[in-house]
Amino acid sequence: MNTSPEGTDSESERARPGHWREVARQWRHIGPPLRPAAEDVELCAKAVREWSDGRAAPRVLLLGVTPELFHMPWPEGTDFIAADHTPAMIESVWPGPKDAVLYTEWLDLALPRGSRDIVLCDGGLHLLPYRKEQQRLVDILRGIIAEGGLCVFRLFLPGERRESPDAVIDDLFAGKVPNLNVLKFRLWMALAGSASEGVSLATVWRAVHDAAGGIEALADRTGWPVEHTLAINTYRDSKARYYFATLDEVKELFCGGRGGFEVHRLLVPSYELGEQCPTIVLRRSSKA
């Protein structure tokens, strides 16, 4: 089943297509915390197992095409579909059948009311501008998810104390940043403004480039593989911005006012930066 996103014109939709083509090309070089670690997958699987106990096989919607979540041990008979707006991600990253992907923007989802029991998303909320588009997604999910169903999101949150970009760079050249994935994450948070301001990915690229004296020089100075280091070039000249809401802001989106959800559980992984990458499990309220 495929639907076309033609005709949409939100800020996030205009900015992202070229960026995500590059992400698809560099997918093998992306790792935790930007992709889910085994511990994240297990936390998600545990939430699904608990929900599924005594119920029929779930009807699942995955926002994005995260392979790790597709490959979870799903109950026999699970109805699994994904939604993604980038053909390159679907072609290069999605491990399932192509007819199980809806080619659409998340904000254009047109699924029947109450037609999904579980919605999963790995680190995707920040891709939409806060607050308008993030709230719009919550509104859409409130209609799609059946009463008592789950919305399971791994979040990327600002730290309790914002570190400076200089502090991140100092740690980088002191050998305290293990890989490019951690560097990206820390610079996102260090360079981001408020949730509504977000951070430009081109700004992140410029910070790394200028500090290292060139992206190629970064590999020499860190000892990281060149092909791993060059993956930061997906950010060069990118028009994309990421928008990081706090945990309280996320809870307000889903549970305050017209949100329609209740926080069922917050699961925090034990790895470095894990406290900023929790999985929030939200239950669709009967009051919605």
DSSP 3-state assignment of 272?
coil
Total Cβ atoms within 10 A of residue 80 = 19
Whole-angstrom distance, CA of residue 116 vs CA of residue 3: 18
The pLDDT averaged over each successive group of 10 residues in the chain (288 residues) is 38 54 83 96 96 96 98 96 95 95 96 98 98 97 97 97 96 96 98 97 97 94 92 92 98 92 97 96 86
Strands (E), 133-214: 145-154, 199-200
The Cα 142–Cα 162 span in angstroms is 32
Hey, which CATH number is domain 11-157+245-284, 3.90.226.10, 3.40.50.1220, 1.20.1560.10, 3.40.50.150?
3.40.50.150
Domain ranges for the chain, please list them.
Answer: 11-157+245-284, 165-242
Q: What is the pLDDT of residue 286?
A: 79
Strand 261-267 relative to strand 279-284, pairing: antiparallel
Predicted confidence at residue 282, as pLDDT, reads 98
Token couple for 167: 């502090």
pLDDT at 17: 52
Q: What is the pLDDT of residue 96?
A: 95
Residue 85: phi, psi to the nearest 5?
-105, 0
Report pLDDT for 196: 98
CA distance 222 to 209: 13
Residue 288's pLDDT is 57
At 175 the pLDDT is 96
Nearest partner of 243 among 182, 119, 158, 138, judged by Cα = 158
Angle (CA) 245-247-250 rounded to 5° is 65
- What is the rounded CA–CA span in Å between residue 81 and residue 168? 39
